[in-house]
Structure 1
Amino acid sequence: AAYLVAQLSASLDVVQRGKIVEKFDPSLTDSYYLNGMQESVERETALQPGKVFPDFQVFDKDGRKYTLADFRGKYLFVEFSASWCGWCKKELPFIRKAYHALKDKNVVFVTMMMDNRKEAWLHEIKEYNIEWYCLSDLKGMKNSPLAKAYNLGGIPDSFVVDPEGRIVCRDLRGDEVLETLSTLCN
């Protein structure tokens, strides 16, 4: 039952999934699927607007380390992507448009590449002319602590973080990137 519920509830929001988890008998706490749902609900709850954005440790193509503290004092648009993600590539023109419109404002753009091969990551930067920060830990979706910290069930995914490091919103797509960031930065 827990397996079926986990599969069927994956598309529900965090509140709905939390209510489902609460309905299970406490004797089922050893269930792999129920535990996975509970952990996902807890991680997702920690990523709601107003919550502190989890810290990260990533690197640029030259090996310079970056953490959340490097971007304090500005709005931060963080987009999770990968060289193998076709949907991610469709978001690049919208991010580029927002970057060019707002690069002189109080916002920093960061693409976090969820690749595990440096060659693929570097090719992506060059091929798609990514002008803003393009960072990675080169551990891939399965092994990166980023995937777990940000509860990435898939990509692309994005967050807007305020100058104090709190989440403003998540999962902007298309023109929402420029519209939302323009409102915040003016």
Structure 2
Amino acid sequence: MKSILNIKDNILELENILYKEQSLEELDRSIQQLFSRILKEYPYLKLPMFSIIPTKNLEFIVWYQDPNAITETLLIKQNSFDAYIWKSANQKWYLDDLYSRPHEIAQKLIESIPVFHSIPENPKEVKHLLEVGMMHFDSTSFPKFSKVKPKDCREVLTWDDRFLLVGTQQNNLKIYSYEEWNALIGRENFYLD
């Protein structure tokens, strides 16, 4: 899998958002809008989940002492990745009680959020992303990796020059080589005739 393009530009844009004087709710909206723009070219990928949670619930989980933070914290979550952004009494943003400079926060987020490094390059990677829940199951938006379309595209979600990903729902996905797929289609067509 490859990473999104222009990672440095995206880090800079997020850094600029963190420099603005804003509430947690405004920060939440701004980051979500940025992430949506970053993934605009990849509508099949799922954005991380955002939620605002009580800061008190995180005491002794994310940090070991009272961070003197505002009462709410922004949680950004995707699969096993969790990031907590909160503002201290000094009006500075913090990430996981480890990073306080906007550039550090922006860099850590962009470099750590899985979806930004999960751009599929073949049907096997699409299958993996579907299985781990980082991709929407929408047969109209799957990326295609070859301009040569298979002869029979029924139930084919995506393909490249060697393999096809076939299925009608999340629980029946299967990778086929062209030879296997053509043999299966040949058998099905034989029984239909």
What is the TM-score of this pair, normalised by structure 1?
Answer: 0.24
- Using the size of structure 2 for normalisation, the TM-score is 0.24
Rg larger for: 2
Greater helix fraction, Structure 1 or Structure 2: 1
